[in-house]
Amino acid sequence: MAARDVMLAVAAAALLGAGLLPSSLATTGVLYNAYSCQHMGGKWSGMPGDTCAVSALVVFRGETVMVTNGITLVNSGGLIVGGVLFNNGGAIVNNGTVSNSGIISSVAGTFSNHGTMTNRGTILNSGRFVDDGNVFNSGTVLDDGGIIVARHGDLSNEQDGLLAVEANGSISSSGRIGNAGTVQDDARLVSDGLLLNSGRMYVTGRLESSGTFSNNGTVESRGMMVNGRGGTAYNGNAIHDLGILENLGTFSNFRLVEVGQKGTLECLGNMTNYGIILNGGKVEVLAGGTLSNRGTISSRLGTIAVLGTLDNQGAIFGGGLG
């Protein structure tokens, strides 16, 4: 028996011993009516909506639970997933704890988290995932054509975690996103809350922050990065811009911003450089924008166009200043 199966079995035994898990519980099945709900150890409520409430549910490895269209599964206790929890157009609401080492897949339905979720497996979303609680990810969270909304919650992508936004997907956050692992943004990630990076971020789509963005890791962008109006951005490590990096707010660079050959850095707000801007592409200080240099700007292979204000109290090397 694999270590993961042992963990699930021990957890289930503990719940059973505490009287929290019905001994007749059979988790494999389709949740679609009162009988199937009761078969899973849940309590059925047909009015005003078709809802199955569970306080302890274990989906073992090799087992599958499918929530069908129009059905709501509400967890107020402990939900342990080692197999597959499949939301096929229904709704899953977590008011307790979810521990996933298997697969949670939501297709065209809604998953609402008001409690705590720990993911060491895979979460696949092509519906709507709303986080008002806490999500700790050391596995894979993949948004493929759906939307993840972190309204007031805390989404922590840990060191071994992967948070990926595929084409036509999106993440919208007014809460906190903390990344110590890997973020792959191929579509749209928008934050007006707190976005903290100490890991790796790869952007081929659009990354936009109008809240606070703090980078102490590595960001590589071949897409569009925007520090919006009212936004505050801090770079304490490395940003590699191979697309467009647009500053409309306040941007402080303390280490390295590299503008590649096909990259553009656009300053429409206030940017202060205390570190190094290595320009091999285009730096544009547009009308109304300010670039204050207290460090080093090296532009031997790139160009600098100034229509706004360039306040240089550091060093600028290379040509291309116009």
Structure tokens at 319: 């040509």
Task: Give CA–CA dist 94/39, Å, rounded.
Answer: 20
Residue 152 has pLDDT above 90, yes or no: no
Residue 1 located in a structural domain? no
Q: Is residue 23 part of a domain?
A: no
What range defines the domain where residue 303 resides? Answer: 56-317
Task: Let me know if residue 10 belongs to a domain.
Answer: no
**Res 5 pLDDT > 70:** no
Angle at CA 125, nearest 5°, toward 121 and 129? 105
Helical H runs in 86-190? none
Contact 235, 254 (CB under 8 A): yes
Model-wide pTM > 0.85: yes
Q: Who wins on pLDDT, 116 or 318? A: 116
2 part of a folded domain: no
Residue 25: inside a domain, yes or no? Answer: no
| CA gap 128, 147 in Å, rounded | 5
Instruction: Quote the pLDDT of residue 322.
Output: 65
Structural domain contains residue 244: yes
Residue 22 lies in a domain: no
- The mean of the pLDDT values for the chain is 91
pLDDT at 320 over 80: no
Q: How many domains does the chain have?
A: 1
Report the distance separating Cα 105 and Cα 120, nearest Å: 14
